[in-house]
Amino acid sequence: MKVFVIIPAAGLGTRMISAWSGKREKPVATKQFTELDGVPVLVRTLANFAGSPDVSQIYVALRASEIGPFRERLRKDFPEIVAKNPVLVEGGEHRQASVGNALAQVSAASDDVVLVHDAVRPFVTHDMIREVIQAAQRYGAAIAGVPAVDTVKQVERTAEGAVIKATIPRQQVVLAQTPQGFRYEVLKKAFDEATADGFAGTDEASLVERSGHPVMVVMGAASNIKITTPADFDLAEFYLKHS
């Protein structure tokens, strides 16, 4: 069994930009290329997979204009990543399209495992990666998730904001993270069906769920943050210091 990893890194970081305030210096790069202690977020993420002995091949989806510069940056500063021969592919307009473009380049056997992991979750651990791989192998589909600590409300959006429609029992809720791992045949089928039906999801699990395959949840971690808004960089610096 081989393990392929897809890292979608072709986003524009619009929530990061729209939430920017005068309190910080304007970013010069999209969040996945922003440096934490001199190392771009994407490189930190890649290093966690490049350093995993289970991983055969890594695919990174990037905007077309970023492929050349990123390849050059890796060559210059991060030989340990280059040694793993990551394949840099062009991303798409939405995350699903970026993952789909990479998936189209993967030539896997049906029971090989494909992991998908956000470029902007740099604190994923080797243990978490291994657990998702093992569960994906065993059950066909598995993701990292964490229990909800806040009470979750279902709302209806209104002109004034939102009105609560129901309270969702906390035990019934898990917050989905990545890695999300699948047997190749399971993920491929789910993508093909979503494409045929024009379905758009915000993660791979949602495509697999609708294809009818059960998706297991393994324990993620609070530290496995998705860098989304400016304050997340403060959190990232905190986790960096304490990791």
Positions 40 through 69 that interact with ligand CTP (CB under 6 A): 61
Give the residue, chosen from 2, 71, 188, 226, that forms a contact with ligand CTP under the rule CB under 6 A: 226
Sign of CA dihedral 85, 29, 125, 130: negative
Between 108 and 225, name the residue whose CB sits nearer to ligand CTP: 225
Pairing verdict, β 161-168 and 152-158: antiparallel
Closest residue to ligand CTP, based on beta-carbon distance: 11
169: number of Cβ within 10 Å: 10
Which one, 15 or 84, has the nearer CB to ligand CTP?
15
Options 3, 5, 10, 132; binder of ligand CTP; rule CB under 6 A: 10
For position 13 contacting ligand CTP by CB under 6 A, the verdict is yes
Closest to ligand CTP by CB, 95 vs 213, is 95
Amino acid at 29: A
Q: Exactly one of 55, 114, 119, 194 binds ligand CTP (CB under 6 A); which one? A: 119
* CB 138 to ligand CTP: min, Å: 26
Q: Is 32 in the site for ligand CTP (CB under 6 A)?
A: yes
Of residues 84-103, which lie at the interface with ligand CTP (CB under 6 A)?
A: 91-95, 98
The count of residues interacting with ligand CTP (CB under 6 A) is 22
3-class secondary structure for the chain?
Answer: CCEEEEEECCCCCHHHHHCCCCCCCCCCCCHHHCEECCEEHHHHHHHHHHCCCCCCEEEEEECHHHHHHHHHHHHHHCHHHHCCCCEEEECCCCHHHHHHHHHHHCCCCCCCEEEECCCCCCCCCHHHHHHHHHHHHHHCEEEEEEECCCCEEEEEEECCEEEEEEEECHHHCEEEEEEEEEEHHHHHHHHHHHHHHCCCCCCHHHHHHHCCCCCEEEECCCCCCCCCCCHHHHHHHHHHHHC
Segment interacting with ligand CTP (CB under 6 A) among 8-16, 69-77, 147-155, 234-242: 8-16
Between 7 and 140, CB nearer to ligand CTP: 7
Residue 55 and residue 47 in contact, taking contact as beta carbons nearer than 8 Å: no
Question: What is the contact mask toward ligand CTP in residues 122 to 161, using x (rule: CB under 6 A)?
Answer: ----------------------------------------
Considering only 9-17, 108-116, 140-148, 230-238, which stretch makes contact with ligand CTP by CB under 6 A?
9-17
Binding site for ligand CTP (CB under 6 A): 8-16, 32, 61, 91-95, 98, 118-120, 226, 228
